A = this chain, B = another copy of it.
Amino acid sequence: MPAPEPSHAAVVDLLGLVALGELLAFERMAVDARLAPDLRRRAALGEMAAAEIANYRRLADRLTALGMRPDEAMAPYVGPLQAYHDSTEPRDWAEAVTKAYVGDAVTDDFVREIAGALAEPDRRLVLDVLHDSSYADFALAEIRAAVGSDPRVAGRLSMWARRLVGEALSQAGRVAAAERGAFTALGARGGLDVPGLFQRLTVAHAERMTAAGLNN
């Protein structure tokens, strides 16, 4: 017997969370682009940012189609997501691309997990907002170049990545407290395994750090 469809409220909750994540990631990357050492890299991070706001628009349109105002669906998460970005302001280009790399990848892992708990057309929609791998490739190449040009940078960026994950986990607790039952509802129907989710996200993050030449 297939699991019952997730409730309308749970879907709205999750889409609102993902939509706000896209909107704030857009702003942060666009702001951080000014740290780029040259115009080519500055434009590249700007284009990564623009991809986020295009995804935001698709999620906002779906929320509207579901009869929910996007800003209302996002409102419960503004506090924790904004706090994450405010507490992890990059000081230079290497920190900015590391933040984009780590943040995009963890977001994608999270989005893939919740996609499994959704019915169509929302499952397809959230899978469509996964990041284009060309952006991760760009960020990864920038991190490797920074580490390669100065071995001490590896230590500094490794610490920075740990801080990013620490702040994200700390705010994830606030997100879980703010959501209005979506995770529990989806978990109860077997669609979202929250403790397993965090473990899988952490393992995948550690593998990516190794790939980037950083220590976990």
Query: Which A residues are within 8 Å of any B CB, using their own CB?
Result: 20, 23, 26-27, 30-31, 33-34, 38-40, 42-43, 46-47, 49-50, 53-54, 56-57, 60, 69-71, 74-75, 78
Per assembly, the copies of the chain total 2
User: A27 contacts which of B38, B46, B71 (Cβ < 8 Å)?
Assistant: B46
Nearest B residue to A48 via CB reads B53
* Chain A interface SS verdict (over half): helix
User: A50 contacts which of B26, B39, B40, B74 (Cβ < 8 Å)?
Assistant: B26
Q: Is A56 a contact of B60 with CB atoms below 8 Å?
A: no
Q: A30-B30, A38-B71, A40-B69 are in contact. List 9 more A-B contacts (CB 8 A).
A: A23-B46, A27-B33, A27-B42, A39-B70, A43-B70, A47-B53, A47-B57, A49-B53, A50-B54
Q: A30-B31, A34-B27, A50-B54 are in contact. Are A60 and B75 (CB under 8 A)?
A: no
Q: Is B40 a contact of A71 with CB atoms below 8 Å?
A: yes
